[in-house]
A and B are shown apart, each in its own frame.
Chain A
Amino acid sequence: MTFATRTTLAACAIACMTVPASAGEIWITNEKDDTVSVIDTDTLEVIKTYETGERPRGITFSKDFSRVYICASDSDAVQVMDPNTGKILHDLPSGEDPEQFVLHPDDVHLYIANEDDAITTVVNTQTRKVVAQIDVGVEPEGMAVSPDGKIAITTSETTNMAHWIDTSTQELFANTLVDSRPRHAEFAKDGTQMWVSSEIGGTLTVFDTATQTEQAKISFEVQGVHPDRVQPVGFEFTEGDTHAFVALGPSNHVAVVNADTFEVEDYILVGRRVWHMAFNADKSQLFTTNGVSGDVTVIDVASRTAIKSIKVGRFPWGAAFRP
C-alpha cells in the first residue's frame, strides 16, 4: 500500500466513522516479537504492548474476560495473563508446541492443538491438570467447539482431516477428510454447521454437524492473483451468522461469503499474508492480522472496506476481543 493510500484510508477512517463503535480492545499476538499488542477499538491505536512467552499464537479470553490465555508455542506452554496488568499469572500444562486452542462453553476446559505431537490436549484451567490427550492427525491446528459444548473439533494440517471429539468421553467419534492443509474450524448456525478452511486446497468445506457430511464447498477467485496463492486460513461469522469473513493468506484479501447461499460476494484488500481476525463489540468492525506486513487492517463491516492499517509487532498471528 502506498503512503498516499494509507493517508486516504486514515482520513477516511476519521471522516467515515460518524457512529463510534462501543469501547473495547483487540488483543493481537505477535509471533516473532513474543508480545501481545492491545488495540483500542475507538481510537484504533495500539495502547499497550505486553511481553509473552516464545512464539505466541492462539489467544482467547475467559468468559468474564478476567483472564487471557495465550499459546506460547516455543515455550511449550499456555500462559494465563491478567489482562488488566499484563502480568503472567501462571502457565497451564499444554503438551508440546501448543498452536491454537478453544475454550469450552463451560469456561473451564481448554482444547489445545499440539502441533508437533499429533495430539489434542484437554486442560482443566481451574485445577491446571491435563484431563485427556487425544491422538489426532499430523500437525493439528484448527480448534472449534460447538455452542452446546458437546463436540470439539481438531483439524490436522498434514493428515487433511477434521477430527470430531465427543467432549463427554474425550474420544473421537468421526474423522472427515477435507482439502489440503486445513487450518481453521468454526461452528455456525447454532452449531448445525461446521466450517473448515483448507489453506493449500484453497477451499472452505461446510459440514452438516448432525451427520458429519459435506454440505457445501466454497472456492475463491481473486482477480489478478494466481489460484495457488489464494489460501483461506482464519475466518469469522458476522452477527446472526449471515456472512463469513475469510482471510485468504498471501493473496492479501479477505473474502465475504454469504453463509446461506455459500457464494462469495466480495473481496477486500488488506495487508500482506492475512491470518486471523476478531470483531469489535457490535461486530461493526473487523480486525485482521497481517503476518508479513506486521500490521492489523480494520475493516468496516457494513461497507466492506478497509479503513485503517495499524502497525503492531512482527508477524501478528492471533486476535481476540475484550470489552
Chain B
Amino acid sequence: MFRAVFLAFVLVVCRPVFADTMLDVGYLHVEVPQPPTLSNLDPEPRNNGLAGAQTGLEDNLTTGKFLGQTYTLNEKSVAVGDDALAAAQALLATTPYLIVDAPADVLLRIADLPEAAGAILFNSAAGDIALRDADCRANMLHSVPSDAMRTDALAQVLVQKRWSDLVMITGTYAEDIAYADAMRTSLTKFGLRLSDEKTWDADADMRRTAAQEIPLFTQSFGDYDAMIIADELGDFGRYVLYNTWQARPIVGSEGLSARTWSPVIEQWGAAQLQSRFEEQHGRDMTGQDYAAWAAMRTLGEAVTRTNATDPKTLRDYILSDAFELAGFKGRPLTYRTWNGQLRQPIAIVHPRALVAQAPLEGFLHQVNELDTLGIDQPESTCEAYQ
C-alpha cells in the first residue's frame, strides 16, 4: 500500500532533471529448427533471451523515471521458414536499436540491409568467431561472448590445473564443430596438447544406449589428463560423465563448463540480478538472457549518461573510454573498440557451483586482462571498426 502511495508522489513531485527522452528498442528472435537430442531433460525456455531483455527494460525504466527517460521493447519472433529480413525491416522502420537472436548468416544479412545502415544491432546469441573477425560489421555489437572467449577461459583453467594432455569428443552438428575448432585454437594458444580426438556420430554402428557405449568408445584414448566434450546442443554429452574408461575430469560443453552466465553465480551482487529475474519470469537466467539483458542495459547506460537517443551519439559513447557497464561479474564491462565485442569475465561452472572466473589470476595482458579471452586486436582482421 505504501508503495503505491509513494509511487504516485514520486511521479508528481520528482520533476525530471532532463527533458523527456524516449528510447524504443526492438527484439528480434529468429527461430531455428532444433534437432532431436537423446534427452529432453532440459528444454530451452521459450522466452530464452527475450526474458533477459525484459528484465533489462525494467532496470532501465526504474533508472529512467528519475531522469525523465523512458524505454519500450517491441518483440518480433520469426517462425522457421518465415522471412527474417522482412521482420527485421519492419522493426528497423520503428527504431534503429535491435537486439537480435539469430544465426550468424541471418545476422549478417540483417546488418547489411539498407535500413540497418547507421543502426545499432546487438548480437545476443551467436558465438561465431567470424562475426568478430573478418565478418564484423560497424553496426553490430556483440553482448554475447564469442566461442573463442569461452574456450580460452576453459583453457586458462586447464593450464592452471596442469591438465595439459587432452582428448576430445565432438558431435556432428555445426555448433559442435565450431566449438571444437575454437577449442583447438585455444589449446594451441595456451600451450596445451590435444593428443586424440573422436567424433560422436549417431550413424555409427552403436546398438546400445549411449551410457553403455561410452566406456568402450573412450577406451582407445589411453591415458590423458582431462576429456573435452564438444556437444553444444546437449545431445550425448550428459551420458559421458562417470561412464568413461578412464576416471578423468570432463570439461567443455559438459562437466566443467565456461558459461556466459549461470544460475550458480551469486558473487558480485549477482544474487540480486538472479532473484529479480526469477521473480519476473519464474525460471533461472540463462547465458542468452544475460546477453540480451546486457544489450538492453548498454543502451540504458548510454542514454542515462548522454541523455541522447540518436545512434551516433550512443554508439560513440558506448565505444568511448567513459562507458562502463556494471554487469554483476565483478569488473566493469566495456566494448572492444576494434570489433564491437563486449569484454566480460567468463564463469567456469559445474551445475552446482562456480568453480572459477576467467581471466584467471596470472593471465596478464598489456591493455586489459579481459583481452586474454577471445581474439585480440593484433590478430583480428575486422576492418569495419577502423
Contacts and interface: CB of A to CB of B under 8 A. Distances in A.
Interface of A: 115-116, 118-119, 130, 132-135, 137-139, 156-161, 163, 170-172, 175, 177, 179-181, 199-202, 226, 228-229, 250
Nearest to B327: A200
A172 B6 CA distance: 10
Contacts of B2: 130, 132-133
28 contacts: A115-B272, A116-B276, A116-B279, A130-B2, A133-B3, A134-B6, A134-B10, A135-B3, A135-B7, A138-B62, A157-B272, A158-B326, A159-B59, A159-B62, A159-B63, A160-B326, A163-B66, A172-B10, A172-B14, A175-B66, A177-B305, A180-B325, A181-B326, A200-B332, A202-B332, A226-B368, A228-B331, A250-B330
A116 B275 contact: yes
B332 A180 contact: yes
B33 to A, nearest CB: 37
B59 A132 contact: no
Contacts of A132: 2, 6
A281 B90 CA distance: 67
Contacts of A228: 331-332, 368-370
Contacts of B369: 226, 228
Given A130-B2, A177-B304, A139 B269 contact: yes
Which 6 residue pairs spanning A and B have beta carbons closest together? Answer: A133-B2, A159-B63, A175-B66, A180-B326, A200-B326, A181-B326
B204 interface: no
Given A118-B62, A157-B269, A159-B63, A171 B9 contact: yes
B332 A137 contact: no
B14 A116 contact: no
Contacts of B325: 180
Interface string B312-336: 0000000000001110001110000
B80 interface: no
A229 B62 contact: no
A203 to B, nearest CB: 11
B304 A160 contact: yes
Contacts of B368: 226, 228
A155 to B, nearest CB: 12
B6 A133 contact: yes
B41 interface: no
B5 to A, nearest CB: 8
A160 B269 contact: no
Contacts of A157: 269, 272, 326
A171 B11 CA distance: 11
Nearest to B7: A135
Nearest to A181: B326
B63 A138 contact: yes
Nearest to B3: A133
A159 B324 contact: no
Contact of B59 (A130, A135, A158): A158
Interface of B: 2-3, 6-7, 9-10, 13-14, 17, 59, 62-63, 66-67, 269, 272, 275-276, 279, 304-305, 324-326, 330-332, 368-370
B326 A229 contact: no
B63 A135 contact: no
Nearest to B66: A175
Contacts of B3: 119, 133, 135
A177 B62 CA distance: 14
Contact of A116 (B272, B324, B332): B272
Nearest to B324: A180
A135 B62 CA distance: 9
A16 B272 CA distance: 43
A135 B10 contact: yes
Contacts of A180: 324-326, 332
A228 B66 CA distance: 28
Q: In the complex, which of the residues B7, B17, B304, B330 has the most CB atoms of chain A within 10 Å of its own CB atom? A: B330
Contacts of A200: 324, 326, 331-332
A199 B326 CA distance: 9
A161 B301 CA distance: 12
A107 B362 CA distance: 49
A157 B268 CA distance: 11
Given A118-B62, A160-B63, A201-B324, A135 B331 contact: no
A159 B66 contact: yes
Nearest to B345: A228
A158 B63 contact: yes
A172 B325 CA distance: 26
Contacts of B272: 115-116, 139, 157
A197 B326 CA distance: 14
A202 B368 CA distance: 15
Contact of A137 (B66, B269, B276, B330): B66
A218 B109 CA distance: 46
Nearest to A250: B330
A320 B155 CA distance: 44
Contacts of A171: 9-10, 13
A237 B255 CA distance: 48
Nearest to A122: B2
Name, among A132, A179, A228, the residue most crowded by chain B CB atoms within 10 Å (CB to CB).
A228
B295 to A, nearest CB: 15
Given A137-B63, A199-B326, A200-B331, 9 more contacts: A116-B279, A137-B66, A139-B269, A158-B63, A159-B62, A159-B63, A161-B63, A202-B332, A226-B369
A199 B330 CA distance: 9
